[in-house]
Copies of this chain bind each other. A is one copy, B any other.
Amino acid sequence: MKIQVVRNVLEANDRLAGEIRKRNAKSGILLLNIMSSPGSGKTSLLEKLIPLLQEDGLRIGVIEGDITTMCDAERIAKLDIPVSQINTEPFGGDCHLGSEVIMPALDHFDPKETDLIFIENVGNLVCPAEFDTGANANIVVISTTEGEDKPLKYPLMFRTCRLAVINKVDLLPHLDFNIDELEQNIRRIQPHMDIFRVSARTGEGIAAVRDWVEKMHIKA
């Protein structure tokens, strides 16, 4: 009974996600879904990445997902771009964004004025991986302070992503952490993952993420 309901919810979600991709393809909008644990640096990454993309003429919007608060949306709005905040608290504090909340959030952006929309998903390495948001690709952010074993322990997250951004490399000298081992573990789960090492704090490596996003935009 419970399983049947969950299955229906997932099927409805996937159907709507397909509609989102069709609609965005018509408008020439690339939709990228960023996921991570709480505090891995999704917002900080966007704060550094978006200005680089803007320099190259891309017009950007952000959909911010949080259970509650507008903290991240306020940080992103300072970049002077349109932001749509989704709070999942009225929906029972949902631990992920589904396509049913992404679809109406898209109406917040003028398709003639938008090339690229980032979804910053709820901070959670488990549930968001189960729900197709309608994005063209998923990105996982993992920070050097989280340990080498996380891809093995949260395999679905890494299996559903095309890009892994390893953040907080500026802290490497202060950690007992083997970044090569983390990369190996990522590739054990997702052999074709693109991987970049960055510091959203210092800006190191962000240009490589920009190039990746721009290539995705050309393809889309």
Contacts and interface: CB of A to CB of B under 8 A. Distances in A.
Interface stretch (A18-26, A51-59, A119-127, A203-211): A119-127
Interface centre among A38, A66, A149, A201 (most CB of B within 10 A): A38
A127 to B, nearest CB: 5
Interface in A2-59: 2-3, 5-6, 9, 37-39
Interface in A102-155: 122-127, 130, 143, 145-147, 149-150, 152-155
Interface stretch (A67-75, A76-84, A212-220): A67-75
A201 to B, nearest CB: 7
Interface residues of A, number: 42
B125 A123 contact: yes
Q: Can you tell how many copies of this chain the complex includes? A: 2
A93 B156 contact: yes
A180 interface: no
B93 A126 contact: yes
Interface of A: 1-3, 5-6, 9, 37-39, 66-69, 71, 92-93, 95, 122-127, 130, 143, 145-147, 149-150, 152-156, 168, 170-171, 174-176, 201
